[in-house]
Amino acid sequence: MTEILRLAAFSDDPAGGNPAGVVLDASGLSDERMLAIAAEVGYSETAFIVSRDGGKYRVRYFSPLIEVPFCGHATVATAVALGTGSHVFVTNAGEVPVSVDDAGTATLTSVDPRVDDLPGADLAALLAALRWDTSDLDESLPPKVAYAGAYHPILAVGSRRRLAELDYDVPALKALMEARGWTTVQLVFRAADDTFDVRDPFPVGGVYEDPATGAAAAAFGGYLRDLWIVPDDATLHLRQGDDLGRPGRLTVTLTPGRPGVQVSGTAAALPG
């Protein structure tokens, strides 16, 4: 019988953060079985270690509906489950080093990020699916598509209330995301120079919203650096999940000379 661990990533409290399933030995599981397990678990993602070689682990991530190339919160959960030390996760997006300190905080370093323009037609379709208008947007944080293992369009609003009132057209947003290969949509409100409130719809994975999204956090860090919105040695604080009643806290670190973005957080065990 396959053992499935359950942890809430980016929180010290099992009632917060983003729940993830973790299978530490998935060597005998088919793709179909991993997808079925992810659907049975019902979290936004479940991570599966399909092979290991010393401190290097081949990891795959499945949502209830699809496999995704990289998942930050399930990476944090898996690293915490493995324990203190340095690990390397070989993902579909590339190698992701992850360290876990003595306090139980995991820090992943993303693959090299990149930032692309969001075409006008895609922006219009995205706004329509979100039931937003251009007047809702924060002009200081322009719409883009960012990548750090998975693709995420980034939209920033000028009002925290607008973010809190998220109510999107699920079929329309899902169809647009599937057509463009987007994993989640990173919706952002800038609360302070180094602090952001974020929400991430994830209908392509069969989940209305991700409570804490490490992959999108890494992509967002790359976006902020690429557009010179923050210094290249910044430490950023992302607050996510508050609107869902599952508060999570993600720390994003940018380091000069290091292309990858670091994302840090804790994880709390959930009942089996």
Neighbours of 256 (CB within 10 A): 8
User: Helix, strand, coil % (nearest 5) of the chain?
Assistant: 25, 35, 35
So what's the pLDDT on residue 271?
85
Closest residue by Cα to residue 215 from 86, 69, 29, 47: 69
Residue ranges of the chain whose pLDDT lies below 70: none
Q: Which two tokens stand for residue 257?
A: 């000379």
So what's the pLDDT on residue 67?
98
Q: Which region holds residue 25: left if phi is over 0, alpha if psi is between -120 and 50, else beta?
A: beta
Residue 155: which residues within 8 A CB-CB, separation 6 or more?
126, 127, 130, 132, 137, 143, 185, 186, 187, 188
Residue 225, CB-side half-sphere exposure with 13 Å CA sphere: 28
Catalytically annotated residue among 3, 32, 40, 45: 45
pLDDT digits (tens, 9 = 90+) for 44-74: 999 999 999 999 999 999 999 999 999 999 9
Which CATH homologous superfamily contains domain 5-96?
Answer: Diaminopimelate Epimerase; Chain A, domain 1 (3.10.310.10)
Which residue has 């099992």 as its token pair? 14
So what's the pLDDT on residue 69?
98
CATH topology agreement for domains 5-96 and 114-268: yes
So what's the pLDDT on residue 51?
98
Beta carbons of 63 and 202 less than 8 angstroms apart: yes
Q: Establish whether 3 is a catalytic residue.
A: no
So what's the pLDDT on residue 1?
80
pLDDT digits (tens, 9 = 90+) for 142-173: 999 999 999 999 999 999 999 999 999 999 99
How many residues appear in the chain? 272
Rounded CA-CA distance 241/183 in Å is 17
Report the CATH fold assignment for 114-268.
Answer: Diaminopimelate Epimerase; Chain A, domain 1 (3.10.310)
* Domain boundaries of the chain, sorted by first residue: 5-96, 114-268
